[in-house]
């Protein structure tokens, strides 16, 4: 299917498709987080053990559910119903510096989206001030100290019911990025990076 046909069909992401995804995967996880937090208040911490204990099991599922909610929120926020503002000058400049060109960034992001089992994230490393594409096979994987800027859900539940294949889903997603949201995330993340760098140069930690 060519790109124009795809965009004619979808004209943005189908609202009901996003609503179903939101209800099934985000709301369910939010409820489970509350349930786990309630259980953690009552767990017997004297039984803590690295092979098996209730505290350990609850924390594994807590991390999984919490990351799922956070990543889904980023994902839903960074999808526009129709084409939004373009990438900012700051974003374009950073894509150029860190990937060679915005086109090269998109090529790499697309390839990761074709092979990841869970998520693909364009993120800013808050220690280095550089952009990278990250991917993960589960909600619980990720790199610390990275601010997510653009998040794509590539679990099969995110596209199988609506799109004929993953490639078409990724192409429609990339045509519907809410760059206004992503630009703002970059601006906020760069402020965090700059204030950290300034603090370090003054002898802070």
Q: Which of residues 23-62 bind Fe ion (CB under 5 A)?
A: 25
- In this structure, are residues 108 and 99 in contact, taking their beta carbons and an 8 Å threshold? yes
Nearer to Fe ion, 24 or 107 (CB): 24
| Near Fe ion by CB under 5 A: residue from 109, 139, 153, 159 | 153
Min dist CB 70 to Fe ion, Å, is: 12
Q: For the chain, how big is the Rg over CA atoms in Å?
A: 19
Q: Which of residues 7-26 bind Fe ion (CB under 5 A)?
A: 25
Task: Examine residue 74 and tell whether it contacts Fe ion (CB under 5 A).
Answer: no
Min dist CB 60 to Fe ion, Å, is: 19
Sign of CA dihedral 33, 38, 41, 45: negative
SS (H, E, C) 64-80: HHHHHHHHHHHHHHCEC
Min dist CB 79 to Fe ion, Å, is: 12
Task: Examine residue 168 and tell whether it contacts Fe ion (CB under 5 A).
Answer: no
Distance between CA atoms of 172 and 175, rounded to whole angstroms?
Answer: 5
Min dist CB 154 to Fe ion, Å, is: 9
> Residue of minimal CB distance from Fe ion?
153
Nearer to Fe ion, 67 or 133 (CB): 67
Nearer to Fe ion, 36 or 158 (CB): 158
Nearer to Fe ion, 22 or 110 (CB): 22
* Positions in the binding site for Fe ion (CB under 5 A): 25, 153, 158
């Amino acid at each position: 299917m060519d790109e124009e046909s795809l965009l004619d069909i979808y004209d943005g992401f189908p609202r009901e498709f996003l609503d179903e995804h939101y209800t099934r995967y985000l709301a369910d996880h939010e409820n489970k987080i509350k349930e786990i937090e309630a259980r953690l208040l009552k767990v017997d911490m004297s039984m803590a053990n690295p092979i098996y204990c209730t505290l350990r099991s609850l924390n594994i599922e807590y991390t999984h559910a919490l990351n799922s909610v956070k990543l889904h929120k980023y994902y839903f926020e960074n999808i526009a119903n129709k084409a939004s503002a373009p990438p900012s000058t700051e974003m374009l400049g950073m894509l150029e510096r860190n990937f060679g060109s915005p086109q090269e960034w998109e090529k790499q992001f697309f390839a990761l989206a074709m092979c990841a089992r869970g998520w693909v994230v364009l993120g800013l490393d808050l220690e280095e001030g550089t952009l990278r594409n990250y991917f993960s096979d589960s909600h619980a994987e990720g790199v610390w100290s990275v601010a997510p800027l653009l998040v794509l859900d590539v679990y099969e539940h995110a596209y199988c019911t609506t799109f004929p294949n993953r490639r078409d889903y990724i192409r429609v997603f990339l045509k519907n990025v809410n760059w206004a949201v992503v630009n703002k995330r970059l601006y906020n993340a760069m402020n965090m990076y700059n204030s950290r760098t300034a603090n370090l140069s003054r002898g802070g930690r």
